């Protein structure tokens, strides 16, 4: 495998600022299939050639850091106060994917996924003798753009 990736090659940002001290991130790209199976399909499932709902889900886990320079506290605050008066909390996120194991902030990533995401869940946990950690799930809201950076 000549082009494998490691986790630190995937960077999650709110706007232009890196989100938290992430130790684990995942991206799920969903294309809801539309089942149009009928009696005439001889028992074989058939899908419509068009995709139903498209979405992108992101999950992130890491160390809690509520310093002003870090947005984990900001996400926590937005979630706890329910953002803007009880409405969904929508944040602009960018996922950067790099071809190098140590991304250089002064250069460009190899490709990006950008769009608005709702904070679907936010959890903080920690044992008596453990670091305080967080986990968050973000669901896309509206169209998502993917770009290959030249």
Q: Which whole-number Å values give the CA distances from 106 to 102, 103, 109, in the listed order?
A: 12, 9, 10
* 76 three-class SS: helix
Whether 50 is covered by a domain: the verdict is yes
For position 20, which CATH number holds?
2.30.110.20
pLDDT of residue 143: 92
Q: What's the rounded Cα separation, in Å, for the pair 67 and 64?
A: 9
Whether 2 is covered by a domain: the verdict is no
Q: Is pTM beyond 0.85 here?
A: no
| Domain count for the chain | 1
Which tens digit of pLDDT belongs to each residue from 66-109? 554 454 556 666 666 665 555 677 877 887 776 655 556 566 66
Whether 21 is covered by a domain: the verdict is yes
Q: How many CB atoms lie within 10 A of CB 136?
A: 24
């Amino acid at each position: 495998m000549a082009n494998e990736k490691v986790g630190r090659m995937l960077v999650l940002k709110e706007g232009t600022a890196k989100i938290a001290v992430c130790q684990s991130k995942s991206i799920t790209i969903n294309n809801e299939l539309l089942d149009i199976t009928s009696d005439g399909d001889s028992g074989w499932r058939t899908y419509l050639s068009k995709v139903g709902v498209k979405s992108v889900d992101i999950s992130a886990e890491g160390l809690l850091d509520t310093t002003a320079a870090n947005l984990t506290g900001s996400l926590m605050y937005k979630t706890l106060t329910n953002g803007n008066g009880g409405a969904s909390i929508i944040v602009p996120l960018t996922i950067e994917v790099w071809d190098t194991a140590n991304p250089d902030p002064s250069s460009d990533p190899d490709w990006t996924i950008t769009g608005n995401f709702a904070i679907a869940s936010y959890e903080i946990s920690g044992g008596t003798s453990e670091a305080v950690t967080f986990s968050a799930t973000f669901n896309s809201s509206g169209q998502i753009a993917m770009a290959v950076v030249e």
